[in-house]
Structure 1
Amino acid sequence: MSEHINPWGNDLYGDYSQLFSEFGLQHVDSKLASRLPMTNRLWKRGIIFAHRDFDKFLDSFDKGKPVAVMSGIKPSGDFHLGSKLTAEQIIFAQKAFQSKLYYCIADLEAFADNGQDFEASHEYAVQNVADLLALGMDEKNAFIYKQSENKAVSNLGFIAARKTTLATLDALYGHQNLGLYTAALVQCGDILQPQLKEFDGPKNVLVPVGVDQDPHIRLCRDVAQKIDPKFILPSATYQRLFRSLDGTTKMSKRDPMNVISLNDDPELVKKKVMRALTGGRATAEEQKKLGGEIEKCVVHELMFFHFEDDDAALKKFQHRCASGAISCGDCKNDVAGKIAAYLKDFQARKKKLLPKARKIIEK
């Protein structure tokens, strides 16, 4: 594994064990998961697998102290299945802890990373917030904002810069341009904003993210109490990264034919799924005799991560593959149909929510 985690790259970081030994992540074990007030497939299946100080966040929640949830999106494209996982983490936390969600539209980062102007980011932001609403976010208990319009966040980012050296940034991220370093410092402002006086002061803040975003958490934890000794170090929970359809990288907006977008036409999704990596054997005879290698199969991951909530049904799906009872082609057809039905329903909900999303963004 590289000595750096690049939150702007497409690496998978398949050997997660090194993230614990090299970067100090903490394991999510059964004892910690049992403290949740409710659960879902992300927790039950170990998709959320690591944390930083989530136990301390739970301590505050159990004692009735104020807590908050914070996350965001770089508005540079449609939500894909990786974005969906993070959104589901966020929405679960908002509901489970009945806490306010602070949600950042990272249009400054979109400019720094993608050279995208604010007008384009605005339209993507409308789409992304509509996705969140369709996935179940409670907008009445949320503070949604653009980085470019939030002076408090920019001020905190500037103060964080005063407390940070280039050597620290290089150690965390590797050599990057100053725009990306600046975007990372502004994200410190995003994460610390819920602890400002105007938001009722210091509190435990949970940041649910993909594991590739850990450098941002480490940077913020490093500077938080340098900015204000009263600030509580932010907590984080981390999900496993979801692979691209060919299995080579994490799912990313940068590779349209290897990603499933929540806005994809269902017929296009069927074509994409039929091209996806499987764990199928070389011949039909071997498939029947030996069964599929499910641990290699992205099509199985589509069901495991996203499209089969029922654990018993998932076990039946896995058994069909591992026992050789189904061919990869037939399995892909079944999964493609299930995804297409999900997207048809999701897109209908989202369409109705677009006016509300635009109102939220343009208020």
Structure 2
Amino acid sequence: MATVIQKTFGDISLDTDVKGDISSSDNSGLVMDGIDEDIIDPWTVVSKSATGVDYDKLIARFGSSKIDQNLIDRIEKVTGKPAHHLLKRGIFFSHRDMHEILNSYEKKKPFFLYTGRGPSSEALHLGHLIPFVFSKWLQEVFDVPLVIQLTDDEKFLWKNLTVEEARHLALENAKDIIACGFDVEKTFIFSDFEFIGMCPAFYQNMIRVQRGVTFNQVKGIFGFGESDCIGKISFPATQAAPSFSSSFPFIFGDKKDIPCLIPCAIDQINKYAFSGGGATVEEHKEKGGNCDVDISYQYLRFFMEDSDRLDEIRKDYSSGELLTGYLKKELITILQGIIAEHQERRKTVTDEVVKQFMTPRKLKLNL
């Protein structure tokens, strides 16, 4: 199993129009005063700094490795394709064992992708979209199968949802995911509530993981307390099971040693965020804007594919030549295009299309 990890990102819903001001000077929800270290677990991200999470400390804490230029160069060499801008800009900033995946790929050995979504709302947000955009790129350049887990059971345990509500949200989220443009011949999407009961091999791997992990281990890693329900405590095993190819015998047959690459993200924290511009036009022109904390510029880093234009914006905004209003205007134009295109594609995702993606079946893969 290998992972590539994505930095945090804020939320704008994919089922709404982007209009007007998308930034605020209020930073609650992003920064918590009085804490000594960033607080990060699978469900909570709180930073002690206005510039966000200290990713270098995070890499050291979790024992991963930084995605450096050597790794990016190697990805481009083995695929023969330019690296995705999310890699080049350090948005996907850390990895575990990515070189092992590339070693296998160079030897013509197969691997597969696994990512997921916890359905807690009717529509995905832009921040939720990023891992799927990157997964789609990985699927295309490496020509590999992908499994996508919808953890509706997780949201039932953590949120005030009924089973029926969680199942409904999973199906609605599946439509947003499919609208990203995944290849139905190489992609299997499954809901935990629907799938686990029909796949003994998946459940058996869940139980193997559960037996191999102690309460003290999950308590330390995930921050569980004595008042948490037992469903939460055992749930990490459910999310671990898809990383084993043996969990999907209808895809991989009796092959149990196919490695898995997992694109994943730290959860979103930018509910409120700073503008990096000056308090007045005069101050902005004199001192320039701070791109490191400006949420509009950070959005552009995620979604503007033209790196030359992004560098130009950073230079002009930092110098004070480009005002905050013009920066936001450029961002809104880009986001309007992305959301409008996604909404149009989503209209074509019928219940029948969803059924095709969520039916257990053999996928097209090179074994």
Q: What TM-score, normalized by structure 1, do the two folds share?
A: 0.77
Residue 238 of structure 2: aligned partner: 186
Q: Is 1:208 the counterpart of 2:263 in the alignment?
A: yes
Sort the Cα spacing of 1:11 and 1:153 in 2 relative to 1 into closer, same or farther, 3 A: farther
Residue 93 of structure 2: aligned partner: 49
When the two chains are superposed, the root-mean-square deviation of aligned CA atoms in Å is 2.2
Contact 1:153–1:193 at 8 Å: present in 2 too?
A: no
One-letter amino acid matched to 1:338:
I
Question: Which sections of structure 1, spanning at least 5 residues, go unmatched?
Answer: 213-240, 248-276
Q: Is 1:144 the counterpart of 2:179 in the alignment?
A: no
Sort the Cα spacing of 1:40 and 1:332 in 2 relative to 1 into closer, same or farther, 3 A: same
Q: C-alpha separation between the residues in 1 aligned to 2:148 and 2:204? A: 18
One-letter amino acid matched to 1:174:
G
Which structure 2 residues correspond to residues 18-167 of structure 1 after superposition, within 5 A? 18-36=57-75, 37=79, 38=81, 39-77=83-121, 78-148=123-193, 149-150=195-196, 151=199, 152-167=201-216
Give the percent of matched residue pairs that are identical in Structure 1 and Structure 2. 25
Pairing partner for 1:321 from 314, 317, 320: 317
Pairing partner for 1:174 from 220, 223, 239: 223
Question: Which sections of structure 2, spanning at least 5 residues, go unmatched?
Answer: 1-35, 360-367
Q: C-alpha separation between the residues in 1 aligned to 2:39 and 2:325? A: 39
One-letter amino acid matched to 2:154:
E
Find the residue that maps to 2:115 and give its secondary structure. Answer: strand
Contact 1:127–1:354 at 8 Å: present in 2 too?
A: no
Sort the Cα spacing of 1:360 and 1:120 in 2 relative to 1 into closer, same or farther, 3 A: farther
TM superposition outliers: structure 1 runs of 4+ over 6 Å: none
Sort the Cα spacing of 1:347 and 1:197 in 2 relative to 1 into closer, same or farther, 3 A: closer
* TM-superposed deviation, 1:21: 2.1
Of structures 1 and 2, the one with the larger relative CO (CA 8 A, separation 6+) is 2
Q: How many residues align?
A: 304
Contact 1:100–1:141 at 8 Å: present in 2 too?
A: yes
* TM-superposed deviation, 1:130: 2.2
Sort the Cα spacing of 1:117 and 1:2 in 2 relative to 1 into closer, same or farther, 3 A: farther
Residues 192-223 of structure 1, C-alpha deviation per residue, up to 9 Å, x if partnerless? 2456655222111001101x3xxxxxxxxxxx
One-letter amino acid matched to 2:97:
D
Contact 1:129–1:357 at 8 Å: present in 2 too?
A: no
Residues 216-273 of structure 1, C-alpha deviation per residue, up to 9 Å, x if partnerless? xxxxxxxxxxxxxxxxxxxxxxxxx6651523xxxxxxxxxxxxxxxxxxxxxxxxxx
Residues 129-182 of structure 1, C-alpha deviation per residue, up to 9 Å, x if partnerless? 222222221121012211122233333212211121111111211224222222
Q: What TM-score, normalized by structure 2, do the two folds share?
A: 0.76
Q: Is 1:297 the counterpart of 2:294 in the alignment?
A: yes
Contact 1:5–1:172 at 8 Å: present in 2 too?
A: no
Greater mean deviation of Cα atoms: 150-159 or 62-71:
150-159
* TM-superposed deviation, 1:190: 2.1
Contact 2:188–2:357 at 8 Å: present in 1 too?
A: no
